[in-house]
Amino acid sequence: MLKEPCVGYENKMKELREKMCITTEELSLLTETELRIIEKLENGQLHPSDDFIERLANAFQMNPFEVKKYIWCEEDQNECIHN
C-alpha cells in the first residue's frame, strides 16, 4: 500500500515538468490549479491527492499510477518504488 511520500519526489516532479519543456505557470494552467500549489509541490511542501495526481499525469502525458509511484512510497519505506 502506498502511504509515505517518497524522499526527493519534488525533484522528480520538477524533472517531469522540465522534460515537457513547460514552466511552472504553464503547469498550473494545465492542472487547473494556482501557481503557488505547483511551487509547493516542487519544494516538497505539498503531498498531492489522487485527483491532483491525475491532473499532473494528464499534463505530463503519463499514466496516473506511474506519477503516483514517484510521489507515494510503500508503507515503512523511504525510497520510491520507481527509480
Q: Which domains are present in the chain?
A: 2-74 (1.10.260.40)
Separation CA 59–CA 73 (nearest Å):
22
Q: Which three cell numbers stand for residue 47?
A: 503531498
Mind listing the pLDDT tens digit for each residue in 1-23? 557 888 899 999 999 999 999 99
Q: Per the structure block, which three cell numbers stand in for 57? A: 499525469
Q: Give the C-alpha distances (Å, rounded to integers) separating 66 from 25, 35, 36, 40, 70.
A: 23, 23, 24, 20, 7
The model's pLDDT over 32-57, given as tens digits with 9 standing for 90+, comes to 999 999 999 999 999 999 999 999 99
Taking each helix axis from N to C end, the angle separating 64-71 and 50-60, rounded to the nearest 10 degrees, works out to 120
pTM: 0.83
